[in-house]
Chains A and B, each alone.
Chain A
Amino acid sequence: MSPFAHQLSAHCESGVTAQLLTHAGLTLTEPRALGIGSGLFFVQLPLDTLMGAPSTSFRSKPGSIFAKACRRLAVPTNIRRYGNARVAHDELLRLVDQGQLVALQTSVYYLEYLPRRFRFPFNAHNIIVYGRKDGRWLVSDPVLDQAAECDDESMSRARFAAGLLAPRGKAYWVEPIRDASPSRITEAMAAGLRETGFTMGHSPIPFFGAKAIGYLAKRCEAWPKRFAKQPQKALLLLANVVRMQEEIGTGGAGFRYLYAAFLQDVADTFGDPAYAQMSERMTAIGDTWRKFAGAAARLFRGGQATPEAFAPVVETLRGLGEAERALFRELSAQVRGGRKALPAQNPPLPS
């Protein structure tokens, strides 16, 4: 197998998926991994926090990008969880010795090569182990510009961290792919678009999809009044939304730029300029998400949490909800070619 070269990505799981598949012989870019794996999503639950974590999310369930992308590309996967850190370590050692790239789900809290202020307890960070040198793992963390190293103890801790989304030692890898047919890629891209178009534009549940952005705006509007006595709490909840959008594994602006890059790719692959136009609109939506984060940051610095101070931020969110709903409904109609909206169907696996 060819030597592995670390590559910079914007998001951990789509970056890991792209690198694993590319290394196995099926060239895949990061935006394609995200788009095919339907990584873009929006969730706002009717709670402020869920087991201490924010109840807002810009992503689909951790692990689903890899699983969906591989299923749609008909690539067989190996996904293991372990009950015992010793067994997990030995198996990783064996795989790495064979020259296999292995991706791991880890907690950022124990990964000491990361900047200190980002090492909060978050359990769904994906990294690649590509080798071992002097008793230390050689780690390719896709969100950093350089490869890193990690010792055994930290690695075991990171893989067996407790709490929400506990990784339980999860390791996944792809064996070399012999026949990568290009026709699969277009089918897979369409399947990814169908699912994202449906879940974002047509979700029947108001806590999921673009409608939930409007719901977040409504909740956000109420925070200054609800926490009139403790403005810091209202600001913390808003800060959590911004952190979910920018920092906690969404590749910036809550995946919107990455998805715009995917739509640009779709326009070229399908030869359909309608997608290029949607890509531009998606870029504008990403810019608005950034504007929202910038306005929120000014609120944090001011330390003020009054309904008047929150009003522009709430308005921006509401506008985003409407713009995204319209865009994803159009996207859904475009990819279905006029057929009725139904949940995405996956192409059957060849036997």
Chain B
Amino acid sequence: MRTEEVPQDGAYLEGKKRGAYAVDANGRYTVIATAGWEAETAATRVALEAADAQIRAAFDDVMRGARSALWYHLAARQLTAAQVAEYAGLWRLRVWWHLRPGPWAKLPVELLERYAKALRVPAEKLKVLPPQPESWL
């Protein structure tokens, strides 16, 4: 690829630039800044859409009463139960238990605080669902 062919399709980089190697007029490789490439953006978009679908499915599960709000908050942050268990310093089995609506409703305040810190969500927001599922797009 030549330096003048390096794509500059800014969208997902929010005005920031990344480095790319390309051949200059003398046939030598140099590093130049690129604002992004639309093929790359298209691939990222597919992955973000898949994440959104997962978040919506989790939202619906919680609305149906099949899972606790924690299930939604994990999906919205693309975290697994194992990861949040490590951040909160809990056993995985306990996190799994709290993914059920009943135990989640009866969660002691100090445990809720630990989840809030681990997920970086205020405790009062963690207990309930937001009005709309969040989007990564």
Residues of A near any B CB (own CB < 8 A): 8-11, 15, 30-31, 52, 109, 114-118, 120-121, 142-146, 161-163, 232, 235-236, 239-240, 242-243, 246-247, 251-253, 257-258, 260-261, 264, 283, 286-287, 290, 293-294, 296-297, 300-301
Contacts and interface: CB of A to CB of B under 8 A. Distances in A.
Interface in B114-137: 136-137
Contacts of B33: 8, 145
The 4 closest A-B pairs by CB, nearest first: A261-B29, A239-B46, A297-B39, A242-B43
B40 interface: yes
B31 A242 contact: no
14 contacts: A8-B17, A8-B18, A121-B83, A144-B17, A145-B16, A145-B33, A162-B83, A162-B86, A240-B43, A246-B39, A252-B34, A257-B21, A257-B22, A293-B37
A143 B19 contact: yes
Interface stretch (B56-64, B74-82, B95-103): B74-82
Contacts of B136: 117
Given A247-B44, A257-B22, A8 B31 contact: yes
Given A242-B43, A246-B37, A301-B42, A252 B21 contact: yes
Interface centre among B18, B45, B53 (most CB of A within 10 A): B18
B20 interface: yes
B21 A251 contact: yes
A142 B46 contact: no
A163 B80 contact: yes
A239 to B, nearest CB: 4
A161 B42 CA distance: 27
The dominant DSSP class at the A interface is helix
A274 B66 CA distance: 65
B47 A232 contact: no
A293 B42 CA distance: 10
B19 to A, nearest CB: 4
B16 A115 contact: yes
Contacts of A31: 21, 29
A70 B26 CA distance: 31
A232 B78 CA distance: 19
B23 interface: yes
B17 to A, nearest CB: 4
Contacts of A261: 21, 29
A182 to B, nearest CB: 21
A145 B19 contact: yes
Nearest to A166: B86
Contacts of A287: 1
Nearest to A260: B29
Contacts of A301: 42
B104 interface: no
Given A236-B47, A290-B1, A297-B38, A162 B18 contact: no
A162 B87 contact: yes
Contacts of A300: 42-43, 45-46
Contacts of B37: 246, 293
Interface centre among B19, B21, B86 (most CB of A within 10 A): B21
A163 B83 contact: yes
Nearest to B22: A257
